[in-house]
Chain A
Amino acid sequence: MKFAVLVFPGSNCDIDAVKAIEDVLGPEGAEVTAVWHREADLSRFDAILIPGGFSYGDYLRCGAIARFSPVMEAVKQAAAAGKYVIGICNGFQILTESGLLPGALRHNDHLQFRCEISPLQVESTDTPFTRHYAPGQVIQIPIAHGEGNYFADEATIAELNANNQVIFRYYEHNPNGSVERIAGICNATRNVLGMMPHPERAVHDWLGSADGKALFTSILNAWRDKQGA
């Protein structure tokens, strides 16, 4: 399958993401291309990853300026076409700013930057991103953010819960003050995922955890199923 990893001025997890996809899926699984944010056509890709970092220096608000990059129109089209879109960390912030996912990410409640392995519970395996996990499985994935404090109003949270759109919750801890310990959510059609933790930094035991691998193998598996259907 063809993977795009978007690169904005200030992205800094883009190369990690490219290498993680290459390492986990191999050349027979995925062809990965780093795509500069001026690109306006993503129709040749099956999946799009928006990586972490500090796009546009996080000026004004995290993700607020990246949202207006030409590539984001193409991301919206891809999402509407049912392609897989995953935003990690700053990528999650860009997805909420662009309205592809509900809610917003605020400063951590303690105002500190947190960089550590964070246990997550997989709340739903009914997505193309989590089908290789077990429901309720606790996985070890690193976080690295100062503004990962998820917020949405009560009605939105109720809707997310009712539709099983909360995909990851921080397990037995809350590193940033997120409402209901939410670490990752998907859209109503389940093909757009945003998460603060970094699965691309957890793809080898020597990185501290290999629990992020299943996220990438899930995407390939879902894509292959769709091709076969």
Chain B
Amino acid sequence: MIIARIHVTLKASVLDPQGTAVTKSLHALGYDEVQDVRIGKFLELKIDTNERHVAEERVQEMCEKLLANTVIETYTFELVEA
């Protein structure tokens, strides 16, 4: 079994309104050192295979097809043995 941990975030060039709101909120609490907040999604997939290279290929396909919208989002993922 392999676990895929996927992060999906808005591209750097795309304004993140939620991140902006949270940045302001943190500043209001006195955390002035916070320069920027980017909010994204975390997905954890349990995958029934032991073949890492196959899982890697399949997860990338899943990200491209469904899990991220590459017009506005980017994704990264890591695979760990379950």
Contact = CB atoms under 8 A, between A and B. Distances in A.
A111 B17 contact: yes
Nearest to B68: A61
A65 B69 CA distance: 12
Interface residues of A, number: 21
Interface of A: 60-61, 64-65, 68, 96-97, 102-104, 106-111, 149, 151-153, 177
B1 interface: no
A151 B13 CA distance: 11
B12 interface: no
Interface bin, chain B: 10 to 19
B71 A152 contact: yes
A55 to B, nearest CB: 14
17 contacts: A61-B69, A64-B66, A64-B69, A68-B66, A102-B71, A103-B71, A104-B69, A104-B71, A106-B10, A106-B17, A108-B17, A109-B15, A111-B17, A149-B17, A151-B14, A152-B71, A153-B71
Contacts of A106: 10, 14-15, 17, 72
A60 B66 contact: yes
Residue with the greatest number of chain B CB neighbours at <10 A, chosen from A97, A107, A111, A149: A107
Given A106-B17, A111-B17, A151 B67 contact: no
